[in-house]
Amino acid sequence: METAMIAQLPARVLTPRPTIERLIHRYGAMPVLWATIRALLMPRKRRARPPDPYHLCPHLRRDIGLPPERPYVPKYYELR
């Protein structure tokens, strides 16, 4: 009878974040408490907005699949 070579790992080994009990045991209760409070009070990082497609150069517009810009034709009231 052949045996499968599949690793059977406990669920606690598969979790990437250490449990709070392990952190308290390693660093102590107060440092963990202060780090938690500091992490909760820090503002979240916001993702940068993508550039406005109307201000992109023609090469970038073509690369991302946008149609070419129409040539700029001044309005009659801009000709003064």
The pLDDT, as a whole number, for residue 30 is 95
**Does the pLDDT value for residue 16 go beyond 60?**
no
Domain boundary assignment for the chain: 17-42
Residue whose token pair is 């974040």: 17
- Answering whether pTM is above 0.85, one says no
CA distance 23 to 14: 17
* Arithmetic mean of pLDDT, 2-27: 72
Q: What is the pLDDT of residue 34?
A: 95
d(CA 18, CA 74): 63
